[in-house]
């Protein structure tokens, strides 16, 4: 095969010390266009080969087995050819990777991605703009700002008042939200945490969020010097949405106990259930009591472009800040997220001017330096992915994809309700289903079964067999299984096949353990 060998030779010659010039052929530079093209072409072939030949979401390999393959790798000794390099990569990574595009990958909030975004990844990495300052990005800064303005518009924020910045994802966005909520509160008291640190009596401050909100709220509270204990979990209703009466009574208790709420965090799409807190009602509470409202829409942000279900986010336009994760619900590759605020003034709480990078005078001259609103300094041009996606596909198609997920989830839910061996816990608001396998066995036999262990083992068994990758979670101390449906191409039938796999693996586990038990009984009696 011409090109592979040719390129092998090309790189081989680069290894000889005399071939000084050829050695720099790895650098992105017009002199090296030929090797650049070949490298990318070979990479593309490899990816397409995997795409064609991936017949399971996962091979089922164990960490130990895979780690053993790394033993022969010597990072001091590069390969002689691209061919060898890619072959090794195939063995160590691609062959046993977890493939989110596969119809039997139904586990976490990982979406299959759209290819305009992959093209963007190639372009943004090649040019390697850094989005902290105008002088490292130029048009990149304007592209990001346009997308922020567009997203703010979808949220319903007022033009020119709403603002935001791209982030690495929901965790960073939630941290920014709580940072601004905290510092804004203290600013209003005439106290600058940024300059003076946390004041005495920090333990009286609290953050209220539902009991099923994302753990990054707790983590952020800890990072902000408030501690896990400052996060007060609010009870949910039967469909895992924040109970507004419980919120009100918690606030009452806070006041009575001398506690000061810094923020209420509503979740639009909880990680486990996809449930959406009653945003409009929470807005009312926040307005009455002058508390910062953050809406974590890391998962639910897909609704922003939905034609059928946008109303589920009603009230979000009144939130002080919003988290969106394009890498969860806009079919974008990791990382791609954003943090938005209703009033751009609040972002100045994190602005820091460094003379060498973004001096104050540049802001005064009107130079847009996005680092002024970001926790990161050097920052990827992730916005380009969403840009090419919108320019090639348009927002409507993305929204239609998201709508398809919601109807898929609803169809699967209907089927699960009819299945006497499946207990479903939630009615899906988005595309997540929590359920467990409860086999139909006689009364006495059923008493002997540990259903939590059984469901955990089903999940493991499916993964080890490479049959399907599904998630697990615990609700009220009991183990459940979870589907997160994020592939708009997946058919109801394909999901139901996984349900059948769950049942057949479950039955096999029960039979096997019966046999083990009876064998050990026989041994004892011998």
Residues that bind ligand PLP (CB under 6 A): 109, 169-171, 174, 214, 216, 267, 269-271, 296, 298-299, 325, 337
Nearer to ligand PLP, 26 or 228 (CB): 228
CB of residue 175 to ligand PLP, shortest distance in Å: 9
| Helix (H), strand (E), coil (C) string for 302-331 | HHHHCCCCHHHHCCHHHCCEEEEEHHHHCC
Choose among 173, 244, 251: nearest CA to 210.
244
What's the min distance (Å) between Cβ of 170 and ligand PLP?
2
Give whichever of 212 and 425 is closer to ligand PLP, judged by the CB atom: 212
Closest CB 257 distance from ligand PLP, rounded Å: 28
Residue 351 phi/psi, 5-degree rounding, is -70, 130
CA geometry: angle at 102 spanning 101 and 103, to 5°? 115
Contact 262, 297 (CB under 8 A): no
Q: Which is nearer to ligand PLP, 271 or 490 (CB)?
A: 271
Smallest gap from Cβ 240 to ligand PLP, in A, equals 12
Shortest CB 28 distance to ligand PLP, Å: 29
* Residue whose CB is less far from ligand PLP, 155 or 509: 155
Strand order in the sheet with 478-484: 422-424, 432-437, 478-484, 471-475
For the chain, the first-to-last Cα distance in angstroms comes to: 66
Contact of 483 with 462, CB cutoff 8 Å:
no
Measured between alpha carbons, how far is 496 from 493 in angstroms, rounded to an integer? 5
CB of residue 260 vs ligand PLP: minimum separation in angstroms?
24
How far is Cα 523 from Cα 526, in angstroms, rounded to an integer?
5
How are beta strands 321-325 and 292-297 bridged, if at all? parallel
CB of 241 to ligand PLP, least distance (A): 13
Positive or negative torsion for Cα 217, 148, 350, 287: negative
Contact present, 108 and 68 (Cβ < 8 Å): no
Least gap, CB of 298 to ligand PLP (angstroms): 4
Nearer to ligand PLP, 270 or 426 (CB): 270
CB of 9 to ligand PLP, least distance (A): 43
Element (H, E) at 150: helix 139-155
**Cβ-based nearer residue to ligand PLP, 174 or 490:** 174
109 or 398, CB closer to ligand PLP? 109
Q: Which is nearer to ligand PLP, 11 or 398 (CB)?
A: 398
- Name the token pair of 65: 């087995």
Give the largest Cα separation in the chain, rounded: 91
Q: What is the nearest approach in angstroms of ligand PLP to the Cβ of residue 263?
A: 15
Q: What is the 3-state secondary structure (H, E, C) of 358-409?
A: CCHHHHHHCCCCHHHHCCCCCCCCCHHHHHHHHHHHCHHHHHHHHHHHHHHH
Q: Which is nearer to ligand PLP, 132 or 296 (CB)?
A: 296
If the CB atoms of residues 141 and 271 are measured against ligand PLP, the closer one turns out to be: 271
Contact of 236 with 212, CB cutoff 8 Å? yes
């Amino acid at each position: 095969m011409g090109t592979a060998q040719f390129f092998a030779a090309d790189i081989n010659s680069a290894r000889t010390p005399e071939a000084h010039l050829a050695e720099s052929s790895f650098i992105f530079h017009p002199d090296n266009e030929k090797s650049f093209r070949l490298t990318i072409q070979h990479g593309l072939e490899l990816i397409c080969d995997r795409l064609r030949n991936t017949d399971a979401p996962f091979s089922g390999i164990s960490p130990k087995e895979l780690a053993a393959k790394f033993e022969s790798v010597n990072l001091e000794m590069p390969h002689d050819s691209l061919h060898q390099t890619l072959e090794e990569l195939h063995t160590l990574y691609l062959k046993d990777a977890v493939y989110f595009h596969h119809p039997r990958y139904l586990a976490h909030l990982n979406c299959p991605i759209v290819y305009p975004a992959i093209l963007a990844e190639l372009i943004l990495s090649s040019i390697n703009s850094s989005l902290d300052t105008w002088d490292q990005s130029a048009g990149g800064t304007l592209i990001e700002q346009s997308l922020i303005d567009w997203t703010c518009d979808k949220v319903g924020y007022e033009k020119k008042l709403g603002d935001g910045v791209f982030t690495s994802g929901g965790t960073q966005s939630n941290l920014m939200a709580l940072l601004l909520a905290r510092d804004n509160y203290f600013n209003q008291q005439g106290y600058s945490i940024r300059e003076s640190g946390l004041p005495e009596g920090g333990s009286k401050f609290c953050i209220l969020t539902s009991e099923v909100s994302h753990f990054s709220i707790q983590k952020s509270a800890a990072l902000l010097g408030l501690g896990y204990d400052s996060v007060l979990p609010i009870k949910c209703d039967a469909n895992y949405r924040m109970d507004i009466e419980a919120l009100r009574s918690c606030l009452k208790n806070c006041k009575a106990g001398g506690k000061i709420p810094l923020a209420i965090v509503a979740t639009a799409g909880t990680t486990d259930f996809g449930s959406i807190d009653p945003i409009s009602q929470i807005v009312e509470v926040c307005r009455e009591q002058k508390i910062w409202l953050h809406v974590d829409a890391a998962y639910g942000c897909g609704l922003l472009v939905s034609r059928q279900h946008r109303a589920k986010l009603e009230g979000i336009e009144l939130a002080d800040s919003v988290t969106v994760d394009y890498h969860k619900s806009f079919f974008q590759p990791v990382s791609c997220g954003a943090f938005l605020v209703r009033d751009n003034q609040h972002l100045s709480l994190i602005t820091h001017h460094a003379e060498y990078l973004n001096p104050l005078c540049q802001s005064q001259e009107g130079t847009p330096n996005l680092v002024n609103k970001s926790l990161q300094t050097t920052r990827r041009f992730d916005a380009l992915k969403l840009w090419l996606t919108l320019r090639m596909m348009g927002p409507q198609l993305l929204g239609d994809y998201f709508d398809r997920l919601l109807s898929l989830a609803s169809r699967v839910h209907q089927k699960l309700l009819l299945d006497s061996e499946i207990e479903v816990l939630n009615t899906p608001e988005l595309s997540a289903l929590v359920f467990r396998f409860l086999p139909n066995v006689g009364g006495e036999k059923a008493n002997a079964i540990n259903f939590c262990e059984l469901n955990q083992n089903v999940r493991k068994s499916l993964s080890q067999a490479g049959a399907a990758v599904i998630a697990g979670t615990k609700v009220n101390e009991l183990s459940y299984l979870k589907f997160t449906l994020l592939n708009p191409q997946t058919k109801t039938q394909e999901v139901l096949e996984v349900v059948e796999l769950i049942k057949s693996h479950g039955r096999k586990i029960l039979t096997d353990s019966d046999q083990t038990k009876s064998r050990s009984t026989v041994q004892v009696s011998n």
